[in-house]
Amino acid sequence: MRRGRFVVFEGIDACGKSTQARRVAAQRGARFVFEPGDSPLGAQLRSWLLDASTPMNPVTESFMMLADRSHHVVTVIEPSLASGTHVMADRYYASTLAYQGYGRGVDLADLEAATELAIGHCLPDLTVLIDIDVDTANERRARDAEDRFESADVHFHERVREGYLTMADGDPHHWFVVDGRATPDEVATAIDARLDLLEW
């Protein structure tokens, strides 16, 4: 049985990654997954994580993201890949490095070590970064019903964006950066051309 392809979609809130991940999954017969919260245990963790009324220190937040991820890998992602199913993920470990590491200042080396513990060898074949500037993201976002992450200040989102770009720069073989200010169709065309280079 040939292992499925594993592609992750990343970017700051409102970059359009969920739309693209769902589209690719539908077009390539892949399984769509997301983090945080894509399991019964994960859904509970997600409700605490996004609750604006629950203050949480960045390390606690990291462990909750990692708990969700570890459970997700073992119960959903790894079994799917092992059975030959392709997996398209809306966020994965790079979100924790970007948001909790670059964004909230948790030590990156510590986070990388904890990530290894959480995901083992389950690394993506490719991470697609849909990059948009923070002003464009803010314009797109509805101003009401913000969660704890969406209500964070503009500098936080700038750091998250820079973190993503730094990770992508450092490993161009496993990252693909696409300009998220283009139309959804243009973004789709760019992503599909890169995905076609993976063996499916």
Residue whose CB is less far from ligand TYD, 2 or 40: 40
Residue whose token pair is 């960045």: 58
Question: How far is the C-alpha of 14 from the C-alpha of 184, rounded, in Å?
Answer: 12
C-beta separation of 71 from 122 below 8 A: no
CB proximity list for 196: less than 8 A, separation 6 or greater:
none
Give me the residues that bind ligand TYD (CB under 6 A), please: 13, 18, 35-36, 65, 90-91, 95-96, 99-100, 149
CB atoms within 10 A of CB 133: 15
Residue whose CB is less far from ligand TYD, 70 or 85: 70
Question: Considering the complex, what minimum distance in angstroms separates the CB of residue 131 from ligand TYD?
Answer: 14
Question: Considering the complex, what minimum distance in angstroms separates the CB of residue 13 from ligand TYD?
Answer: 4
Residue whose CB is less far from ligand TYD, 24 or 65: 65
Question: Considering the complex, what minimum distance in angstroms separates the CB of residue 98 from ligand TYD?
Answer: 7
Residue whose CB is less far from ligand TYD, 78 or 90: 90
CB proximity list for 37: less than 8 A, separation 6 or greater:
43, 45, 46, 47, 49, 68
